[in-house]
Structure 1
Amino acid sequence: MIKVLWIALGGSLGALLRHAVSSLALRLAPPDVPWGTLAANLLGCFLIGALWVLANRYSFPQEVRVFVFTGGIGSLTTFSTYGLESLLLLREGRVLMGLGNILLSNVLGLALVALGAACALLVLGESVTAVAGMQQ
Protein backbone atom coordinates (compact mmCIF):
# COMPACT_ATOMS: atom_id res chain seq x y z
CA MET A 1 0.00 0.00 0.00
CA ILE A 2 2.87 2.37 0.80
CA LYS A 3 4.30 1.76 -2.69
CA VAL A 4 1.01 2.93 -4.23
CA LEU A 5 1.16 6.11 -2.16
CA TRP A 6 4.71 6.84 -3.36
CA ILE A 7 3.58 6.35 -6.97
CA ALA A 8 0.54 8.58 -6.44
CA LEU A 9 2.61 11.34 -4.84
CA GLY A 10 5.24 11.19 -7.58
CA GLY A 11 2.50 11.04 -10.21
CA SER A 12 0.80 14.17 -8.95
CA LEU A 13 4.10 16.08 -8.94
CA GLY A 14 4.97 14.79 -12.42
CA ALA A 15 1.58 15.84 -13.75
CA LEU A 16 2.03 19.32 -12.28
CA LEU A 17 5.50 19.52 -13.85
CA ARG A 18 4.08 18.44 -17.22
CA HIS A 19 1.44 21.17 -17.01
CA ALA A 20 4.05 23.79 -16.08
CA VAL A 21 6.44 22.75 -18.86
CA SER A 22 3.65 22.60 -21.45
CA SER A 23 2.28 25.98 -20.41
CA LEU A 24 5.70 27.59 -20.59
CA ALA A 25 6.46 26.06 -23.98
CA LEU A 26 3.13 27.25 -25.37
CA ARG A 27 3.79 30.79 -24.13
CA LEU A 28 7.26 30.87 -25.71
CA ALA A 29 6.55 29.21 -29.05
CA PRO A 30 3.92 29.42 -31.79
CA PRO A 31 0.95 27.07 -31.31
CA ASP A 32 1.21 25.39 -34.73
CA VAL A 33 3.41 22.57 -33.34
CA PRO A 34 2.73 20.61 -30.13
CA TRP A 35 5.71 22.23 -28.39
CA GLY A 36 4.32 21.52 -24.92
CA THR A 37 4.24 17.78 -25.47
CA LEU A 38 7.64 17.82 -27.15
CA ALA A 39 9.15 19.81 -24.28
CA ALA A 40 7.65 17.47 -21.65
CA ASN A 41 8.85 14.38 -23.52
CA LEU A 42 12.36 15.73 -24.02
CA LEU A 43 12.63 16.89 -20.40
CA GLY A 44 11.41 13.47 -19.28
CA CYS A 45 14.05 11.77 -21.44
CA PHE A 46 16.80 13.94 -19.97
CA LEU A 47 15.58 13.38 -16.41
CA ILE A 48 15.18 9.62 -16.74
CA GLY A 49 18.70 9.33 -18.16
CA ALA A 50 20.28 11.43 -15.41
CA LEU A 51 18.23 9.96 -12.57
CA TRP A 52 18.75 6.38 -13.76
CA VAL A 53 22.51 6.85 -13.44
CA LEU A 54 22.14 8.44 -10.00
CA ALA A 55 19.69 5.78 -8.81
CA ASN A 56 22.11 3.02 -9.74
CA ARG A 57 25.24 4.83 -8.52
CA TYR A 58 23.75 5.69 -5.13
CA SER A 59 21.47 2.65 -4.75
CA PHE A 60 18.21 4.56 -4.41
CA PRO A 61 15.75 2.53 -2.30
CA GLN A 62 12.74 1.00 -4.03
CA GLU A 63 10.39 3.63 -2.58
CA VAL A 64 12.44 6.43 -4.11
CA ARG A 65 12.64 4.62 -7.45
CA VAL A 66 8.86 4.16 -7.73
CA PHE A 67 8.31 7.76 -6.58
CA VAL A 68 10.72 9.15 -9.18
CA PHE A 69 10.41 6.78 -12.15
CA THR A 70 6.94 5.26 -12.03
CA GLY A 71 5.18 8.21 -10.45
CA GLY A 72 7.06 11.39 -11.28
CA ILE A 73 8.58 10.76 -14.67
CA GLY A 74 5.83 8.29 -15.56
CA SER A 75 3.22 11.01 -15.32
CA LEU A 76 5.49 13.58 -16.93
CA THR A 77 5.95 11.28 -19.93
CA THR A 78 6.08 7.60 -20.78
CA PHE A 79 8.16 8.47 -23.83
CA SER A 80 11.16 8.73 -21.52
CA THR A 81 10.67 5.14 -20.33
CA TYR A 82 10.48 3.99 -23.94
CA GLY A 83 13.71 5.85 -24.65
CA LEU A 84 15.50 4.35 -21.64
CA GLU A 85 14.33 0.81 -22.36
CA SER A 86 15.35 1.10 -26.01
CA LEU A 87 18.78 2.46 -25.05
CA LEU A 88 19.32 -0.30 -22.48
CA LEU A 89 18.48 -2.97 -25.06
CA LEU A 90 20.95 -1.44 -27.51
CA ARG A 91 23.68 -1.09 -24.85
CA GLU A 92 23.17 -4.71 -23.80
CA GLY A 93 23.94 -5.72 -27.38
CA ARG A 94 20.34 -6.70 -28.06
CA VAL A 95 20.32 -4.52 -31.16
CA LEU A 96 17.49 -6.31 -32.95
CA MET A 97 15.28 -6.06 -29.86
CA GLY A 98 16.18 -2.39 -29.35
CA LEU A 99 15.56 -1.41 -32.95
CA GLY A 100 12.42 -3.53 -32.99
CA ASN A 101 11.15 -1.70 -29.91
CA ILE A 102 11.84 1.66 -31.55
CA LEU A 103 10.21 0.67 -34.84
CA LEU A 104 7.19 -1.05 -33.31
CA SER A 105 6.56 1.71 -30.76
CA ASN A 106 6.53 4.38 -33.44
CA VAL A 107 4.74 2.55 -36.24
CA LEU A 108 2.19 0.76 -34.07
CA GLY A 109 1.75 3.84 -31.88
CA LEU A 110 0.79 5.97 -34.86
CA ALA A 111 -1.39 3.20 -36.26
CA LEU A 112 -3.23 2.86 -32.94
CA VAL A 113 -3.79 6.62 -32.75
CA ALA A 114 -5.46 6.37 -36.16
CA LEU A 115 -7.40 3.23 -35.14
CA GLY A 116 -8.59 4.87 -31.91
CA ALA A 117 -9.73 7.93 -33.85
CA ALA A 118 -11.52 5.73 -36.40
CA CYS A 119 -13.30 3.77 -33.65
CA ALA A 120 -14.43 6.99 -31.97
CA LEU A 121 -15.74 8.30 -35.30
CA LEU A 122 -17.63 5.05 -35.89
CA VAL A 123 -19.19 5.27 -32.42
CA LEU A 124 -20.21 8.85 -33.22
CA GLY A 125 -21.66 7.71 -36.55
CA GLU A 126 -19.21 9.81 -38.54
CA SER A 127 -17.07 9.00 -41.55
CA VAL A 128 -13.87 7.13 -40.82
CA THR A 129 -12.20 8.90 -43.75
CA ALA A 130 -11.91 11.94 -41.48
CA VAL A 131 -9.13 10.12 -39.62
CA ALA A 132 -6.67 10.94 -42.39
CA GLY A 133 -7.19 14.62 -41.66
CA MET A 134 -7.62 14.01 -37.90
CA GLN A 135 -10.53 16.42 -37.84
CA GLN A 136 -11.78 17.27 -34.40
Structure 2
Amino acid sequence: MNWLLVIAGAMVGAPLRYLTDRTVQSRHDSLFPWGTFTINVAGSLILGLVTGAAAAGAASAHVQLLLGTGLCGALTTYSTFSYETLRLAEDGARFYAVANVVASVAAGLGAAFTGAALARALWP
Protein backbone atom coordinates (compact mmCIF):
# COMPACT_ATOMS: atom_id res chain seq x y z
CA MET A 1 0.00 0.00 0.00
CA ASN A 2 2.78 2.46 0.90
CA TRP A 3 4.49 2.16 -2.48
CA LEU A 4 1.20 3.04 -4.19
CA LEU A 5 1.09 6.32 -2.28
CA VAL A 6 4.64 7.13 -3.36
CA ILE A 7 3.81 6.28 -6.97
CA ALA A 8 0.62 8.36 -6.88
CA GLY A 9 2.51 11.37 -5.54
CA ALA A 10 5.27 10.92 -8.10
CA MET A 11 2.73 10.72 -10.92
CA VAL A 12 1.71 14.26 -10.05
CA GLY A 13 5.15 15.57 -9.08
CA ALA A 14 7.08 14.57 -12.20
CA PRO A 15 4.82 16.21 -14.80
CA LEU A 16 4.33 19.21 -12.50
CA ARG A 17 8.10 19.61 -12.35
CA TYR A 18 8.46 19.51 -16.12
CA LEU A 19 5.57 21.90 -16.80
CA THR A 20 6.62 24.35 -14.10
CA ASP A 21 10.24 24.35 -15.27
CA ARG A 22 9.27 25.03 -18.88
CA THR A 23 6.76 27.74 -17.90
CA VAL A 24 9.12 29.59 -15.55
CA GLN A 25 12.17 29.27 -17.79
CA SER A 26 10.27 30.53 -20.85
CA ARG A 27 9.56 33.78 -19.03
CA HIS A 28 13.21 34.52 -18.26
CA ASP A 29 15.80 35.39 -20.86
CA SER A 30 18.73 34.49 -18.64
CA LEU A 31 21.40 31.85 -18.23
CA PHE A 32 20.27 31.35 -14.63
CA PRO A 33 18.14 28.19 -14.26
CA TRP A 34 15.06 29.90 -12.82
CA GLY A 35 12.79 26.91 -13.49
CA THR A 36 14.80 24.43 -11.44
CA PHE A 37 15.41 27.05 -8.74
CA THR A 38 11.66 27.76 -8.43
CA ILE A 39 10.74 24.08 -8.33
CA ASN A 40 13.32 23.20 -5.70
CA VAL A 41 12.36 26.10 -3.44
CA ALA A 42 8.63 25.32 -3.78
CA GLY A 43 9.31 21.63 -3.07
CA SER A 44 11.32 22.56 0.03
CA LEU A 45 8.44 24.69 1.27
CA ILE A 46 5.93 21.88 0.71
CA LEU A 47 8.19 19.33 2.39
CA GLY A 48 8.75 21.62 5.37
CA LEU A 49 4.99 22.09 5.71
CA VAL A 50 4.25 18.37 5.44
CA THR A 51 7.01 17.46 7.88
CA GLY A 52 5.85 20.11 10.33
CA ALA A 53 2.26 18.93 10.02
CA ALA A 54 3.34 15.34 10.68
CA ALA A 55 5.38 16.42 13.71
CA ALA A 56 2.30 18.20 15.06
CA GLY A 57 0.14 15.14 14.50
CA ALA A 58 -1.90 16.85 11.78
CA ALA A 59 -0.61 14.64 8.94
CA SER A 60 -0.37 10.88 8.91
CA ALA A 61 2.47 8.71 7.70
CA HIS A 62 0.40 8.10 4.58
CA VAL A 63 0.29 11.82 3.84
CA GLN A 64 4.06 11.99 4.33
CA LEU A 65 4.52 9.18 1.81
CA LEU A 66 2.12 10.69 -0.72
CA LEU A 67 3.25 14.32 -0.52
CA GLY A 68 6.72 14.19 1.04
CA THR A 69 8.26 11.17 -0.62
CA GLY A 70 6.12 10.87 -3.75
CA LEU A 71 5.21 14.41 -4.79
CA CYS A 72 8.27 16.26 -3.47
CA GLY A 73 10.62 13.44 -4.44
CA ALA A 74 9.51 13.63 -8.06
CA LEU A 75 9.01 17.40 -8.07
CA THR A 76 12.40 18.51 -6.78
CA THR A 77 15.67 17.62 -8.42
CA TYR A 78 19.18 17.67 -7.08
CA SER A 79 20.60 16.08 -10.20
CA THR A 80 19.28 18.80 -12.53
CA PHE A 81 20.48 21.47 -10.10
CA SER A 82 23.96 19.89 -10.15
CA TYR A 83 24.00 19.46 -13.91
CA GLU A 84 22.85 23.02 -14.61
CA THR A 85 25.44 24.39 -12.19
CA LEU A 86 28.18 22.35 -13.86
CA ARG A 87 27.07 23.55 -17.32
CA LEU A 88 27.12 27.17 -16.18
CA ALA A 89 30.66 26.76 -14.85
CA GLU A 90 31.87 24.94 -17.96
CA ASP A 91 30.33 27.58 -20.23
CA GLY A 92 32.24 30.32 -18.41
CA ALA A 93 29.27 31.68 -16.47
CA ARG A 94 30.98 31.11 -13.13
CA PHE A 95 29.12 33.92 -11.40
CA TYR A 96 25.78 32.30 -12.30
CA ALA A 97 27.09 28.90 -11.20
CA VAL A 98 28.10 30.21 -7.78
CA ALA A 99 24.91 32.26 -7.50
CA ASN A 100 22.86 29.15 -8.32
CA VAL A 101 24.52 27.14 -5.55
CA VAL A 102 24.34 29.87 -2.91
CA ALA A 103 20.81 31.01 -3.76
CA SER A 104 19.44 27.48 -4.12
CA VAL A 105 20.82 26.26 -0.81
CA ALA A 106 19.84 29.42 1.08
CA ALA A 107 16.36 29.68 -0.44
CA GLY A 108 15.74 25.94 -0.12
CA LEU A 109 16.66 25.89 3.55
CA GLY A 110 14.70 29.09 4.15
CA ALA A 111 11.65 27.63 2.43
CA ALA A 112 11.86 24.39 4.45
CA PHE A 113 12.13 26.34 7.70
CA THR A 114 9.26 28.59 6.62
CA GLY A 115 7.09 25.57 5.81
CA ALA A 116 7.84 24.01 9.19
CA ALA A 117 7.15 27.30 10.98
CA LEU A 118 3.88 27.68 9.09
CA ALA A 119 2.90 24.16 10.16
CA ARG A 120 3.68 25.01 13.80
CA ALA A 121 1.50 28.12 13.51
CA LEU A 122 -1.37 26.20 11.91
CA TRP A 123 -1.17 23.13 14.14
CA PRO A 124 0.27 24.15 17.53
What TM-score bracket applies, with the shorter chain setting the length?
0.5 to 0.7
Q: What is the distance in 1 between the residues matched to 2:74 and 2:50?
A: 15
How does 1:23-34 map onto structure 2 within 5 Å? 23-34=22-33
Looking at CA atoms only, which structure, 1 or 2, has the larger radius of gyration?
Answer: 1
RMSD of aligned residue pairs (Cα, Å): 2.6
Q: What is the distance in 2 between the residues matched to 1:31 and 1:133?
A: 16
The 10-residue stretch of structure 1 (49-58 or 67-76) with the greater mean CA deviation from structure 2: 49-58
The residue number in structure 1 matching 2:57 is 58
Identity across matched positions, percent: 26
The residue number in structure 2 matching 1:11 is 10
Please report the TM-score for the alignment, with normalisation by the length of structure 2.
0.58
Per-residue deviation, 1:55: 2.3
What letter matches 1:12 in structure 2? Answer: M
How does 1:1-136 map onto structure 2 within 5 Å? 2-77=1-76, 133=90
> Could you say which structure has the greater relative contact order, defined with CA pairs below 8 angstroms and 6 or more residues apart?
2
Q: Deviations over 1:62-109 (max 9, x none)?
A: 221111111000111155xxxxxxxxxxxxxxxxxxxxxxxxxxxxx9
In structure 1, runs of 5+ residues without a counterpart are 80-108, 115-131
Q: What is the distance in 2 between the residues matched to 1:62 and 1:48?
A: 13
The aligned length equals 86
